[in-house]
Amino acid sequence: MDRRAIGVFDSGMGGLTVLHECLVTLPHEDFVYLGDGARLPYGPRPLDEVRRFAREIAGFLERAGVKLVVAACNTATAAALPDLQRELSVPVVGVLAPEAHAAVLATRNRRVGLLATEATVASGRYADLVGTLDAGVEVTSVACPLLVPLIEGDDPFGEETTAAVREYAAPLKEVGVDTVILGCTHYPLVRPIFQRVFGRGVTLVFSAEETAREVAETLVRKGIENDGGREGRYRFLTTGDPELFREMGRRFLQLPIEAAEHVEVAALEAAA
């Protein structure tokens, strides 16, 4: 039995959709979530910069005593997962591999679409992962710079969001994909819009459930799971505005957020 918490991080609040599934799958575990609100969004940033941010946050969480780190950010996973796994003494789980695996299993015509941030698309990591699993699957990638600001805005289900989804979906529909990876943790919040635009004939893939399952399997494999008979706790840290995080975070977590603690960026930089 290992009473240490599991650390989860993202550039902001999108990773709370992953945390939600972890809380449901592992209700007996404790979690600490860190959202880097002061430096979001990560998507338009160079990969080297995102890699540095991810290393700082993961190092901070490791120093805080977590037993496993979840990179609940597609951009950070694409930029930094191998580095984190090499450098940290605790296991690190990302969100890309579970999505790639699910997409390969789901596709019938071997044409998969990817909608993600600019940095995630530029990394080419999804195509590499899918190709490793099935070299015959063709991946068409589209960067979606407008979606994160719209989803975090006042009207995530408004016409502006629908119009942006239609624009980004068009190249994927043109090549006839039957499976689409929602390659950003924000996107599932407006999943009904994606499904409406693509139709029921297209399978939408999002990794939260698969990632939570991988976390559970890793805990068992490493022998570091907590007592299954207890109810776990969770706490929140942010480099941004704690009150904004608390209010908007509930939209993504779909559970209460009583409070969020502020962390200075300098504290993260010192942990790298």
- pLDDT tens column, 58-81: 999 999 999 999 999 999 999 999
Read off the DSSP letter of residue 229. Answer: T
Q: What is the b/e burial string over 229-238, where b = at least 16 CB atoms within 10 angstroms of the residue's CB?
A: eeebebebbb
Cα(104)–Cα(136) distance, integer angstroms = 10
Mean pLDDT on 19-34: 97
CA geometry: angle at 84 spanning 81 and 85, to 5°?
85
Provide the residue type at 174 as one letter. E
Which positions are annotated as active-site residues?
A: 73, 184
pLDDT band with cut points at 50, 70 and 90 for residue 207? confident
Element of type H or E holding 7: strand 6-10
The distance of Cα 26 from the centroid of its chain, to the nearest Å, equals 17
* Residue 15: other Cβ atoms inside 10 A: 30
pTM (2 d.p.):
0.93
Beta strands in 100-233 (DSSP E): 111-116, 138-143, 179-183, 203-205
- pLDDT tens column, 119-155: 999 999 999 999 999 999 999 999 999 999 999 888 9
